[in-house]
Structure 1
């Protein structure tokens, strides 16, 4: 089968470590099945893998990718939940960390990792959900307790999780503010239903919840933007992971700082139900055929992306 995989590591030039071509078809262990992939989606996690983060040399070559939608052996339309347990040790990881990933024509996963795809969602749309969108859903609903009438600040609009949070928060009926240094990304966030703000700008009213994926550069602003009893939910730190924190604000205002990553298969099913019921759809920046996976990676690395980069199996 055709796949995109890490053949080596290169921190300075990750694309030089990417190879595409034929690899052996997956052989599933007991309790696992092979899914024929129709569409998959890229994440920045894939670029980090090419840099050698989270992988060891003895694991190479490693097929990249966490997200996919396709058909199971019975022909059912499914979405792949990417957190899997090692059949031997029981330890969990996401696809492409220990087990081959989804940027291929086929992937082997536990049957329990298959979530039915709603008919209302295309394969490309569904493939965008299991990582960034699931993380954003968990941040807002499970951790942030956001409901209709809540207020939310999303830092760094344009990133995969942040863009998803804007769209999901709006679909939930919340008032959503979104920050970005980039005027075009603020404009796009506004079209998704957010009130756009320049990075660091004062929020008109303090909010119930802040969605934080930027880290050091925005963390102080996030704390100052919360009303008493507010929740700051963190799932990333693209600008640095050691922010200065005024603990007096945290305890005097009863602020909760919550960390999370990904979500459960049940939350993925709930997210897809929300999409089917409300018309919410993931934002797709661009679509490439699987045979042009290298071009898709180059586009992702350029940073000129708003939403998800999708690969569709053309082979």
Structure 2
């Protein structure tokens, strides 16, 4: 059987993604007649894309939307790849999605309007502390959804957790007395992250006052251990958690676009601005390399420049 690059794809790639990737690589070999070196280059780029999608919880090609492709493009900026390699990887992703749409492997082409992000736009946007507090303040109240929203927002800002990590927390992962939570990051990597008194109070209110009644609505077959539950008593989905954050941003009238990752950016930026060591922040965020964390030092540098420009008598 002729080789066409599929052996370079990761072994744990979900079946739907694997079949689509293999079909595309086969078309490069047998329809376009590309050399094996070119096909291997495409395969390596698709392997990187597939790994990223898998770690982000995607198992079906139809679940990939434009936002996910844009997030992958931003991920490439922090991957350590050379600019030419980053551009080539995104081209491979765009051509793959064009192929998938043409072959009816996916209902849309989510990459058609995604361009490589500019180097100057790579700094993540962090909210100011008063904006974070304004969002949390919108959850004040005794309604179950308000108490859940407060617990979720406090956990995101207190720990810098990814949204998938936050909704993946089980009760057994949470220690309210010690102020510690176990998070499972990309590739199932485990880390322990502390949280403060504000988060402890919000989480305690959710766990003791609201969660038991929601859990009682679950069917016997539903997982009982999830920290955050929906109205049916099952684990809160990433989409629902994302909407909670978005709703809080709109209610607080935040001008900037707000997402769960905005809380993660704010967590890291505020820690570094407060004097935290970058290696500590790296561990808290669950970054494999400190190079990824260093993006936040540039955010702090921008803040320093702004303060200098407005404060020093001879800055202008």
TM-score by length of 2: 0.32
Largest Rg, 1 or 2: 2
Greater helix share, structure number: 2
Greater strand share, structure number: 1
